[in-house]
Structure 1
Amino acid sequence: MTVLEIVDWDEHFENEETREMDVVPFALMPNKMDGDGYTELMLHDEAARIFGTWLHIVEITGKCIPRGLLLRSGLRPHDVASLARQSRGKKKDFELAIPVLLDLGWLRYNTIEEHEKR
């Protein structure tokens, strides 16, 4: 089963404190605004919409088990409908953002088994 995963979740969105928590009640967010991914995203006509959707994805992923993978209860992968419902966002925003975030290398498809090998 393939599932969306935030690339290098542990490196970018965790710290010593959050690694000890079962569920993270907040989102740690890097503020590197000079990186290739961010500057490339900001050239997109819908940059603000995509970045806002990215923030929703980060917040949702912080509550997933295991963190980093976009999984719902019962190990069911999130899809655009479930992400929109959980964030109270719009499905069309996730439909726009996910391909861009995949191209930027911020998201990728993985399997639970491969994720757990890291």
Structure 2
Amino acid sequence: MQDKDLEALLAQAAKQPPQPSAGLMDRVLADALALQPAGLTVGHPPARAPQPLGVLARLAALFGGAPVLAGVCSAAVAGVALGYLNPESMDMLTGGLAGDVTGAETIDLFPSTDFLATEG
């Protein structure tokens, strides 16, 4: 077979593409329809109701999500700590370090005063 003959044969085959049989198309469409998910009908609720949220999940949703709630709680803890530990109490803790330390004096890092229980 020459190149011209092969070209003519391929050109004739390109003009007449093969068509699938009707039986094949029916089987393919039946398989495709069997794999399709069932749709919801209009007016009916979904099969499963959503699970109710817990108290912490509702609180997190109220603030805008868990990361936002974590930031708000961290700020609240820092605010309570700074409000309770006033600067005078902090001076009692750091006074030995920043005070008049000269020569061979010892530094008492844990003073006997309970600075966290004093009112400021």
| Class of the TM-score when normalised by the shorter of the 2 chains | under 0.3
Q: Which has the larger radius of gyration?
A: 2
TM-score, normalising length: structure 1: 0.21
Whichever structure has more helix as a proportion of its residues is 2
Whichever structure has more strand as a proportion of its residues is 1
TM-score, normalising length: structure 2: 0.20
Which structure has more relative contact order (CA 8 Å, sep 6+)? It is 1
